[in-house]
Structure 1
Amino acid sequence: MNPPSSAYVDESMLLTHGVYLMAAMFVAPHQTDHYRTELRALLFRRQPRLHWRDENDKRRMQLIEAVAALRPAGILVASTGLDAKRQERARRKCMECLLWELGDHHVNDVVFERRGQLDRRDHELVAVLQGRHAMPSKLVVSWCDPMAEPLLWLPDIIAGAKSLAERGDHRFWSQVEGGMLVRAIDAR
């Protein structure tokens, strides 16, 4: 039996296409130090963190090749029908689906990228889902700053690659999609 993993979660939005993506990457306890070391090695001098949207295509290729070499596995929830005025609704729908799915994947801890004041909404949703038994009771959910946790860079890169694929550019996503379970939901 596989030891319990942690899942690191980040999202990407594609407002022009009405898509909200939420990626959760599995990291087993024996992988954490290695993954952190590999991700930090990708930083340029004085670069505080990796962030997909800040990179050009050449750099994105370097990042996706390095991530693909780690043989990542995870779940990506793709919500269509995103209304730009209802982004939080799409996020809630994705979180609900994702947290339920994680119960089937030997995940005990879920770490979301911190969003400041907006985290309160996530905390409220988790409490509601726990009260409705709509997420596994064993899941421990927390929020962390991506500057402090390089493992949050993994889902950022994966969600960014899928976002480009949604626009028709599959160069990056094709390198990592094999390890990803994709769930499509409607955000309406």
Structure 2
Amino acid sequence: MSDRVATLRSMSATGSGVLHAWVDESVHSGPGVQRPSYLLAATMTASETCPSVREALRGLLLPSARRLHWRDESDRRQIEIATAIAAQDLLHTVVIGIPVDSRRQERARRLCMERLLIELAGLGVQRIWLETRTESLNAKDLAMVAAVRGKRLLPGDTFVDFARPLDEPMLWVPDAVAGAVGAKRKGRNPTPRDLLGASVEEITIELT
């Protein structure tokens, strides 16, 4: 048994035993980025852990903010957010697809999503929440999920649905994790990623 599987099992041992994952994306490109990347991050924990995580994150909101959004935060605030996340009983997996073509971003998402779903299945995650997009893009994601199920790489009883970050603070976490990983890869403000330490597993796949 891997250390990550053992850690997740211990997280759920005292409760319902149901492991959840929340998934968000991030694209890192632009000046100074040699190989643009598509990041798909998942944050995992047991359902019993979520109320305390939500409370901690809501406590970081600025007076006028309705949610935490990594790209809108200052370097100091990003360090504060990463510190709060690192203090929680959470694990994270980030699939990094490189190089990403801005004209083929949905292809990058499909390839990263397939790998991420396989990883989550291997870790025993039973409920997966994706950040909602448009109706048509959500349909593409569900088609991807069905394709992975068709290959028998995702159990048929794994629940997959969508959530809105304005309603679900747990989605603020993978947004921050992807942002921290991407920032360090670009050589900018590496401290948040360092604070998250071994709780984050990074998996790089080639998109070419």
After TM superposition, the score normalised by the length of structure 1 is 0.94
User: CA separation in 2, counterparts of 1:18 and 1:41?
Assistant: 33
Whether 1:4 aligns to 2:18 is yes
Alignment match of 1:49 (pick from 55, 60, 67): 67
Question: Identity of counterpart residues, as a percentage?
Answer: 35
Counterparts of residues 111-122 of structure 1 (less than 5 Å): 111-117=129-135, 118-122=137-141
Counterparts of residues 25-174 of structure 1 (less than 5 Å): 25-117=43-135, 118-169=137-188, 170-174=190-194
Q: Which structure has more RCO (C-alpha within 8 Å, separation ≥ 6)?
A: 1
For the residue of structure 2 that corresponds to 1:107, the secondary structure is coil
Which stretches of structure 1, 4 residues or more, deviate above 6 A after TM superposition?
A: none
Other-structure match for 1:183: 203
Q: Which runs of 5+ in 1 are unaligned?
A: none
Shift of 1:70: 1.3
For the residue of structure 1 that corresponds to 2:184, the secondary structure is helix
User: CA separation in 1, counterparts of 2:87 and 2:19?
Assistant: 19
For the residue of structure 2 that corresponds to 1:60, the secondary structure is helix
Shift of 1:71: 4.5
For each residue in 1:2-36, what CA deviation from the matched residue of structure 2 results, as whole angstroms up to 9, or x when unmatched? 42310001011112331011110012122011111
Corresponding pairs, count: 188
For each residue in 1:153-188, what CA deviation from the matched residue of structure 2 results, as whole angstroms up to 9, or x when unmatched? 000000000010110132111111311122111122
CA contact (8 A) 1:75 1:183 kept: yes
User: CA separation in 2, counterparts of 1:165 and 1:177?
Assistant: 12
CA contact (8 A) 2:95 2:204 kept: yes
Other-structure match for 1:22: 40
User: CA separation in 2, counterparts of 1:138 and 1:74?
Assistant: 22
Alpha-carbon RMSD: 1.4
| Cα 1:177/1:90, change in 2 over 3 Å | farther
